[in-house]
Amino acid sequence: MAEQVLIRQGAEARVYKTTIDGRTAIAKQRFSKKYRHPELDKKLTRGRLNQEARSLKRCKEHGICAPDVIRVDKESATLYIEFISGPTLKEWISGSTDEHEQGELMDVVGQILHRMHSHNIIHGDLTTSNMIINDEPVLIDFGLSQISPSAEDKAVDLYVLERAFISTHPDSETLFARVLEAYRRDDAADAVLRRLEAVRQRGRKRDMTG
């Protein structure tokens, strides 16, 4: 195994850059939670590992840009995936001043999210840090993903992304509006966007009550 370089540690996993099978890769190693019963912890960890791999593979099957799954090591709870180079969407927006170019990219993002949701893939942590701009936007970090046909779940996905835009990119309302405009492609999307408004209202109530 090649040397692993730690690039991020989150609440659920350590993320390394490495090489496997001759390919530059990301190794995402989930770690145990000491407060959980060992058998339950093992079951939950493996379940999330397998779900992330399934979601990535489902994306690839349906033409949604996401990293290839190279290997799933259940013993070490490690998922090896293709390394994708490029700035995150967060970095790209921060460095871009061309409004026309920004609008075109938001169209592509909206179309990709519509395609993902049309195949009932819920990302679970949609932020501008979890998209990498390569030839086109590539979705990464499916650690909280699930498969669900629920319009509510899809609306929450969009709401999380909207909050990421608001908190990270000042005056980005027009950018996210462009994402939603491109997302609205059929009746199913309209149902999700109606649910989004209900999710927003709940969010505003939580903000007011703390």
DSSP-assigned letters across all residues of the chain? ----EEEEE-SSEEEEEEEETTEEEEEEEE---TTS-HHHHHHHHHHHHHHHHHHHHHHHHTT---PPEEEEETTTTEEEEE---S-BHHHHHHH---HHHHHHHHHHHHHHHHHHHHTTEE-S---TTSEEESSSEEE---TT-EE---HHHHHHHHHHHHHHHHHHSTT-HHHHHHHHHHH--SHHHHHHHHHHHHHHHHHHHHHHH-
CA nearest neighbour of 50 among 121, 140, 145, 128: 145
Tokens of 90: 């967060």
56 vs 52: CA distance, rounded Å: 6
CA nearest neighbour of 126 among 186, 53, 55: 55
Residue 206 half-sphere exposure toward CB, CA atoms < 13 A:
6
Domain with CATH 3.30.200.20 in the chain: 5-82
- Beta-bridge mates of residue 16: 6, 27
Residue 186 is a catalytic residue: no
Catalytic residue among 21, 73, 107, 125: 125
- How high is the pLDDT of residue 171? 83
- Architecture of the domain defined by 5-82: 2-Layer Sandwich (3.30)
- How high is the pLDDT of residue 193? 97
Domain topology for 89-209: Transferase(Phosphotransferase); domain 1 (1.10.510)
pLDDT per residue, tens digit, the chain (210 aa), is 568 999 998 878 999 999 998 899 999 999 887 777 788 888 889 999 999 999 999 999 999 999 999 999 999 999 999 999 999 999 999 998 899 999 999 999 999 999 999 999 999 999 999 999 999 999 999 999 999 999 999 999 999 999 999 999 888 899 999 999 999 999 999 999 999 999 999 987 776 665
130 vs 36: CA distance, rounded Å: 28
Domain with CATH 1.10.510.10 in the chain: 89-209
